[in-house]
Amino acid sequence: MKTAPNIVPLAGLVSAEFLSHIGNQIAAVAIPLLVLEYTRSPLATGLVGAAAVVPVILAAVVGGRSIDRIGAWRVSVVADALSFLSVLALPAVILSFVDIPLPLILGLVFMGALFDPTGVASRQVMTPVLARVARVPLARVNAVRGGLENGADSLGPVIGGGLILLVGATHALFVNAASFLVAIAITIVAVPRPRRARTMPAPAGSRSALRFILRHPSLRGLAFTGMVANAVVLPFIMVWLPIIASWRFGAPAFLGVCLAVFGVAAALGAFAYARLSAVLSASRIFYGGLIVTALSIVYCGFSGTVVGVIMAVAVAGLLLGAGNPLEQTLLHEATPAAQAGRVFTTLTAIRYAGGPLGLVLAGAAAEASAVGISTAVGGGILLTTAIAGWWLMPLETVELVQREIT
């Protein structure tokens, strides 16, 4: 006898994921503006951005193994609880002390981001099981998840900008912390705690996950191209746009507008993924999106008008957003359940490995020269990488991936 579809657990998981993304986007607006206000240094802004990205890489060492051994549901709840406490520390310290040294800010930002990547990975691991319970195709689930993630990328900066205008950047971070508490409550109430299934033991350590990624043609392309993409896109969001908003136009709140527009465009691209995948190849969606994004970043660095920057940001996010559900679907279809936690966190770590170096170099370049020069260099690197990746590491369609696995 077949059980009836139950969409409540999947809806709860997606809702908790959406709220955590909202909180993170509030922090994405508040923290760079706080650092620029305290230090007046693009290099310091890049260093703080790097401190927020390094935990994503460290999650591959500890987070993935914890998910595979303890279980994704438990790790999700624990990671969100630890994120709440660590995120709360930054505004508490800022409100308690007048002069805060940069190393302390770096440490607090690092701690605030330390547990979040593991929580994100744990929700990714739970998605295929809950999609089967709800009897919803995985590609459609990932399209919705990608659209909501990018929607949070648009709504979060709007909320963050409004909070900064009303209560200031420091107090806005309390909302980021509270989002983790709400995510915990939704997970406990809506997502059932699964029984631990007996599975064959997976190879220990992250090395097996790394070997799996490097041997799989599509995941290998996502990993190496994504590494370079994040070395450019993260500085664009965390260093160049804050400088353009604060210094070129003298309007810090304009950063929230830019990030909101970027999120809306990316959400539209993600929601359109199901239709795009029916008429375009995986390579055209992924690499084509990176090419368009690269050209938009270059234009944004030289545009002297608000409208020009907004249009460039919107175009940058459009096809980039469609790549998110594509990556999730390829990853879910290709990865064995016993290795899911390690493979997900390891792939994310590889893709973010270029981020810290890119952020520091972007900050140093922006401090030494005009921001347009650094965006031109970064956009040129991304453009070259996308073209080379398309030629050397074309992505297979989901159907071909499934055929290869079976």
Q: Does domain 8-192+205-405 have CATH number 1.20.1250.20?
A: yes
Least confident of 12-16, 149-153, 240-244, 281-285: 149-153
Residue 257 or 36, more confident: 257
Which class for 4: exposed (0-12), middle (13-18), buried (19 or more C-beta within 10 A)?
exposed
pLDDT, average across residues 196-221: 71
- Non-local (6+) Cβ contacts of 196 within 8 A are 71
Whether 386 has a pLDDT exceeding 50, the answer reads yes
- In 59-196 the beta strands, taken as DSSP E runs, fall at none
Average pLDDT, the chain: 83
Report yes or no: 374 and 240 within 8 Å, Cβ to Cβ.
yes
Q: Could you give the CA distance from residue 313 to residue 57 in angstroms, rounded to a whole number?
A: 27
- Burial of residue 138 (CB within 10 Å: 0-12, 13-18, 19+) is middle
d(CA 361, CA 235): 9
**In the predicted structure, residue 402 carries a pLDDT above the cut 60:** no
Could you read off the pLDDT of 106-161 as tens digits, one per residue? Answer: 888 888 888 888 888 888 889 888 988 888 888 788 878 877 887 787 788 788 87
Number of other CB atoms surrounding residue 92 within 10 Å: 15
**Least confident interval from 237-241, 337-341, 395-399:** 395-399
Average pLDDT over residues 368-390: 90
Q: Check pLDDT > 60 for residue 94.
A: yes
Q: In this structure, are residues 188 and 15 in contact, taking their beta carbons and an 8 Å threshold?
A: no
Residues whose CB is less than 8 angstroms from the CB of residue 302 and which lie 6 or more positions away in sequence, other chains included: 372, 375, 376
Rounded distance between C-alpha atoms, residue 286 and residue 283, angstroms: 5
* pLDDT number for residue 60: 63
Q: What local confidence, expressed as pLDDT, does residue 209 receive? A: 81
Question: Residue 229 has what pLDDT?
Answer: 93
Evaluate whether 329 touches 142 at the Cβ level (below 8 Å): yes
Q: Give the separation between CA 237 and CA 86, rounded to whole angstroms.
A: 23
Residue 400 above 50 pLDDT?
no
Structural Rg of the chain based on CA atoms: 20
Q: Report whether pLDDT(186) > 50.
A: yes
Res 98 pLDDT > 90: no
Mean pLDDT of 181-192: 92
